[in-house]
């Protein structure tokens, strides 16, 4: 079982870790410019795309779970139908977002806090990056489908290519051409379309044989479409709650002042770095749990869950120790702005707690997605968001300021892991009789 987990987890960890590393490179590039407002501009501009990612995240998560179950059943007709459904939805969704870019701009920046100077730069970033959404969503669909097919190598190749191209392009636009946050936006756009093209080439090279199993009747089968969207609507609600929490965290940081916004933006990179590391095992869970449920193998289902949590614990403790003892040094690599570094020092403690508090929630996410048990994912996220995070935010920040904001976030993540553990008996272990 450990071999199966690592075969899927290691490529996913490599591909996932490139995402925050690329973000950290962007942060380091902008963090060494003359003002912290460029960091804040990227933070605010990215908020809107985080919401877009949230709405369409089912293109990866839902596709992964359903495809893994079709793989376990050896149902090739449904495998290729899922590929077609997710890819068509992703490209149509991206085109719709481009058409609606102006109202999204108005609503998004109306809701976001921050100084006018930061918001102006963030809007420039948004107006360029919005044209990358069809490619971004297409990559989500392809990555979810490849993962469900027990192929973690192809999402890794795509992610590595996208982030390497992104880093190189950003360095060129910012350091060579002298652009600012708009250069980072152009780098991301170019990288996304390159990644989508690469993903389609990879599909053609290995999976084009599935096209002979294509059935328009299966593709259009009403029961499958309804189930696909029912599960994915739960995932959308779940992910919107998650992104709303982080968006609120960032917007409240911006309300405090531009320096606190820059500090919390940099510190969140530590959380995102670990979450992407842990998600390597969560993605392995999606593939394995879905496969074992599709095959009706209860013994391997229980064994996989047990071993997944062993691995989650194995990676969380060293990461916490690293953050506790080397967080300041890592911080100095991301920015040489003395004001930001000095302001951040009292909050490094929270970053050290991140891995041990959050790993259970990340592992359970992958397990529930593989089981397509979306109702529990939705309900636990709603509880953690509206009964834990927001009440504690309003209770704590009035007295403890930014420390209260971080404590609210930690309680939110901890409650998710606890609630998903409680629900697992009904929604995971009872799936196979």
Distance of CA 304 to the CA centre of its chain: 23
Say if CB 362 and CB 368 are below 8 A apart: no
Report pLDDT digits (tens) over 295-319: 888 888 999 999 999 999 999 999 9
Percent of the chain scoring above 90 in pLDDT: 35
Q: Given this model, what pLDDT does residue 19 score?
A: 57
Residue of 271, 265, 411, 408 lying closest to 344 (CA atoms): 265
Report the distance separating Cα 102 and Cα 137, nearest Å: 19
Say if CB 345 and CB 262 are below 8 A apart: no
What count of other Cβ atoms lies within 10 Å of the Cβ of residue 325? 10
Q: Given this model, what pLDDT does residue 392 score?
A: 94
pTM here is 0.78
Q: Given this model, what pLDDT does residue 319 score?
A: 92
Instruction: Give Dmax over CA atoms of the chain in angstroms.
Output: 64
Instruction: Give 215's DSSP letter.
Output: -
Ranges of the chain with pLDDT below 70: 16-47, 50, 54, 108-119, 121, 180-181, 334, 433
**What b/e readout covers 54-71, taking b as 16+ CB neighbours within 10 angstroms?**
bbbbbbbbbbbbbbbbbb
What SS3 class is residue 337?
coil
Q: Given this model, what pLDDT does residue 200 score?
A: 96
Say if CB 411 and CB 354 are below 8 A apart: no
Q: Given this model, what pLDDT does residue 115 score?
A: 62
Residue of 194, 181, 245, 150 lying closest to 39 (CA atoms): 181
Q: Given this model, what pLDDT does residue 171 score?
A: 83
């Amino acid at each position: 079982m450990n071999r199966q987990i690592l075969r899927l987890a290691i490529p996913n960890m490599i591909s996932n870790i490139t995402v925050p590393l690329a973000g950290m490179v962007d942060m380091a590039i902008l963090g060494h410019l003359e003002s912290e407002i460029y960091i804040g501009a990227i933070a605010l501009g990215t908020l809107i795309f985080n919401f877009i990612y949230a709405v369409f995240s089912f293109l990866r998560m839902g596709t992964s779970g359903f495809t893994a179950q079709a793989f376990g059943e050896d149902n090739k007709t449904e495998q290729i139908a899922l590929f077609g459904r997710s890819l068509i939805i992703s490209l149509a969704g991206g085109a719709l977002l481009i058409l609606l870019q102006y109202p999204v701009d108005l609503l998004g920046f109306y809701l976001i806090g921050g100084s006018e100077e930061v918001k102006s730069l963030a809007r420039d970033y948004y107006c360029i990056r919005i044209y990358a959404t069809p490619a971004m969503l297409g990559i989500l669909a392809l990555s979810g489908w490849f993962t469900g097919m027990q192929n973690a190598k192809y999402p890794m190749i795509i992610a590595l290519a996208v982030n390497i191209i992104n880093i190189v392009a950003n360095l060129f636009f910012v350091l060579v051409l002298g652009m600012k946050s708009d250069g980072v936006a152009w780098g991301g756009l170019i990288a996304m379309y390159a990644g989508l093209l690469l993903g389609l080439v990879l599909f053609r090279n290995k999976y084009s044989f599935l096209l002979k199993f294509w059935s328009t009747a299966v593709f259009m089968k009403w029961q499958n479409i309804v189930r696909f969207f029912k599960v994915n609507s739960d995932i959308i609600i779940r992910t919107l709650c998650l992104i709303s929490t982080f968006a609120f965290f960032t917007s409240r940081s911006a309300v405090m002042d531009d320096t606190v916004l820059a500090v919390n933006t940099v510190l969140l990179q530590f959380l995102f770095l670990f979450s992407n590391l842990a998600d390597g095992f969560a993605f392995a869970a999606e593939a394995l749990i879905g496969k074992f449920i599709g095959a009706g193998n209860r013994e391997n289902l229980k064994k996989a869950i047990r071993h997944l949590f062993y691995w989650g614990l194995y990676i969380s403790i060293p990461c916490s120790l690293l953050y506790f003892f080397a967080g300041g040094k890592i911080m100095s690599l991301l920015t040489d702005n003395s004001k930001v570094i000095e302001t951040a020092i009292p909050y490094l403690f929270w970053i050290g707690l991140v891995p041990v508090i959050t790993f259970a929630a990340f592992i359970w996410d992958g397990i529930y997605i593989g089981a397509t048990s979306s109702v529990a994912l939705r309900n636990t996220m709603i509880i953690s968001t509206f009964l834990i995070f927001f009440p504690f935010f309003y209770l704590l920040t009035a007295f403890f300021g930014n420390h209260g904001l971080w404590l609210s976030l930690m309680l939110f993540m901890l409650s998710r892991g606890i609630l998903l553990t409680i629900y697992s008996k009904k929604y995971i272990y009872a799936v196979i009789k």
